[in-house]
Amino acid sequence: MSEDDKYPAESGRRRFVKGVVGGGALAGVGATGAVTVNTLTTASGAGGGTVEARVVENVGGPAPHGMPQIPIEIDDNGDIKGIWPEVITETVQGVEVEIARSEDFKGSGVTYSQEWFQYCGIESNNAVTPTYESDNYFKSDPDTKYAWQQDALSGGDVLNVSDLADYEDWGNGIGSDGIGKPAMVTWRSEESENPVPVTVLRSSTVEEAAQNDPWLEASTDQGVMAWLNKCTHFCCVPGYKSNGGDSVSYGAEDLIYCQCHQSVYDPFSVVSSIYVARPRPEG
Separation between Cα atoms, residue 240 and residue 258, nearest integer Å: 9
Say which range, 31-40, 94-103, 113-122, has the weakest mean pLDDT: 31-40
The pLDDT of residue 240 is above 70: yes
Strands (E) in the chain, as ranges, are 20-21, 49-60, 67-68, 72-74, 80-82, 87-92, 95-102, 112-113, 139-140, 181-187, 196-202, 224-228, 239-240, 256-257, 264-277
Nearest to 100 by CA among 222, 277, 258: 277
pLDDT of residue 122: 94
Q: Does the pLDDT of residue 8 top 70, yes or no?
A: no
Provide the CB-side half-sphere exposure for 241 (13 A, CA): 23
Q: Where are the domains of the chain?
A: 3-277
Q: What is the pLDDT of residues 14-49, one digit of tens each?
A: 445 445 554 333 333 333 332 323 333 344 444 678
User: What share of the chain in percent tops pLDDT 90?
Assistant: 70
pLDDT at 243: 82
* Each residue's pLDDT tens digit, 175-232: 999 999 999 999 999 878 889 999 999 999 999 999 999 999 999 999 999 999 999 9
Distance between CA atoms of 66 and 73, rounded to whole angstroms?
Answer: 22
State the pTM of this model: 0.85
